[in-house]
Every structure is written in structure tokens, then in C-alpha cells.
Amino acid sequence: MRLQNTLRREVHIRGTGLHTGRQINMRLRPAPRDTGIVFIRTDRSHAEIKASVTSVSDTTFATTLASNGVRVGTVEHLLSVFVALQIDNVYVELDGPEVPIMDGSALPFVTRIMECGIARQAKTLSYLKITKPIVVKEGESQIAITPYDGMRITQRIHYRHPLFGEQRLGIDITEKNFITELAPARTFGFLKDIEVLRSRGLVRGGSLENAIVLTEREIVNKDKLRFKDEFVRHKILDTLGDISLLGLPIHGHIIANRSGHTLNIKLLKKILLSDGCWEIVSDNGAETQAIGLTA
Ligand SMILES: [Zn+2]
């Protein structure tokens, strides 16, 4: 059991929106204990959208949240930073519909947040402890969570591509591991998919500055990969961000095989419906019923 954390002071970050191509201003503000992560659209009458599985509105290519018709997209990289750095309460103000993509990784967010510092709050944080395995399958994809002391993600990806084919990595989610092994891993996409997305008016801000782009045979970017297995590392980062939408830290081992945003969110919903498979650990000890958690 640890204390809750927020930011020590405000952080301003400006960058391109992946889908709109617009410059977006993001302001991260300290928030009181028990707030959670709340997105605020300053361009839409300060509409608030809570980072929660109940706010998920779309999981195609990125995770989009919405509340009362107001959306916020590409949230998963920023959310992965908050989980890994154990920052529980933040207001994320945006003057546009998505979190800036930066260089396609989570590293620029980590750098700015570490410069600003983290503030302890005088209240403990409950966590959800997995006690029995929970599995979600769909075709060749599968994601499971099993009991584990702490949080661990093992991810396997498999593509028919001469450069990477299969990659597999298992890693304990600690602040140190996240900063050195996961945060620098960039988004990647296939040129053929990007062309389809462009024709639908999406990824207007996408470029070789913020994604690794692959053709059927090679990488288009001139700069080198940051890790030999950068792709699977980025997938772990995405999974971590999605899983944070549970709203409480999870103690468990996530084992994902060819899963993406859609399956990650399905796992969260199944966790919430499987009350015999977890307990909430709080100051009052372990309880099998979570108050305020609904699928
Ligand atoms: Zn991603």
C-alpha cells in the first residue's frame, strides 16, 4: 500500500495531434487526492472526460475516450507514463481533440514530468489484486491476466514481415524499467494501413518524425531503431496505458498474444465482471467487492 501522488506543479507540453495534424497545447495540472486522471477540453466549454474504462468510445488504431459527445484521442502513451511513474491524480487540459503524439513514444512526457517532480498526497491508494486467471480470446489473439506479486506484462507480436516477424518480451512494470526499456519505444505503422487511414481523413499529423513506418520489405525511416525489438516494447507501453483505464493499480501478470487496444479493453471489462477472480486491497484489508467499480 502506498500513498497517492500528483504533480508538484503544472507542466506545459505542445505538439502535433496525430490524427488532426493540428498543434495542440496540453497542460498537466496537479489534482486533489482521489481525482484520478481527468481530461479537460478547454476548447469545448471545459468538458471533462474521466480516464476510465466506462469512457472508452473507440479502440481502432488508438484508444479514444468520450463523455457527453466530447472526445479525447491517443491517450494511451500519456496514461502509460502516469501508471509507471505512479502519478494517480492529474488534470490533463487540452485545446484540441487528442494528446500530442510527440516523437511517437512516451519519453518526451517522462522527461517533462520528471523535471517538474511528483508530490505525495496524504492518502493511501487501494489496488486490485488478481487472485485467479482471467482470459479473453478472439481469433488468433488472446490476452490473459494471472496472479502476480506486482505488475508484469508479457507480450508477443507476430507479423508476416521479413524484418521482425515474431517478437516476445516479458517485463516487470517498475519506474526504472519503464523509463529505460519501454518509454523510448515508438509507435509503428504499415504504409498500406497509413494510406487507408489518410483516405479517411485520419493520421494527418503522422510523419517519420513520430512513427516508424514499414513497407512490406523495409523500414522507411532513415534513423535506426531504438531497440532491436522496439515494436513489441511499444505494444507493452500501449497495453499498460489501456490497462490503466481500470482506475486502480493492478497486481497481476498480463500475458498478451497479438492483442491490441480492442482486446485490452475487453479484458478490463471482463475483470470488472469477474468478481471471484480479484480482491481490492485497501487500508481496511482485502475486500472482494469493489465500491464504485462498474463494467
Ligand atoms: Zn501506441
**Cα 219 to middle of ligand 1, angstroms:** 17
* 239 and 256 Cβ atoms separated by less than 8 Å: yes
**What pLDDT is attached to residue 286?**
64
**Alpha-carbon distances of 159 from 62, 104, 119, rounded to whole Å:** 19, 20, 42
- The domains found in the chain, sorted by start residue, are 2-125 (3.30.230.20), 127-287 (3.30.1700.10)
d(Cα 21, Cα 203) in Å, to the nearest integer? Answer: 7
**Cα 263 to middle of ligand 1, angstroms:** 14
pLDDT band, residue 287 (cuts 50/70/90): low
**What pLDDT is attached to residue 195?**
85
Share of the chain above pLDDT 90, in %: 80
Alpha carbon dihedral 228, 203, 193, 188, in 10-degree steps, equals 10
**Cα 285 to middle of ligand 1, angstroms:** 36
pLDDT beyond 50 at 292: no
d(Cα 176, Cα 110) in Å, to the nearest integer? Answer: 11
**Cα 237 to middle of ligand 1, angstroms:** 7
Give per-residue pLDDT as tens, 18-66. Answer: 988 999 999 999 999 999 999 999 999 999 999 999 999 999 878 999 9
Type of residue numbered 38: V
**Cα 208 to middle of ligand 1, angstroms:** 15
Query: What is the average per-residue pLDDT within 238-262?
Result: 96
pTM of the model: 0.94
Of 189, 168, 158, 178, whose CA–CA distance to 240 is shortest? 178
Share of the chain above pLDDT 70, in %: 96
- Catalytic positions: 261
* 4 and 123 Cβ atoms separated by less than 8 Å: yes
**Cα 278 to middle of ligand 1, angstroms:** 28
**Cα 233 to middle of ligand 1, angstroms:** 10
pLDDT band, residue 164 (cuts 50/70/90): confident
**What pLDDT is attached to residue 11?**
97
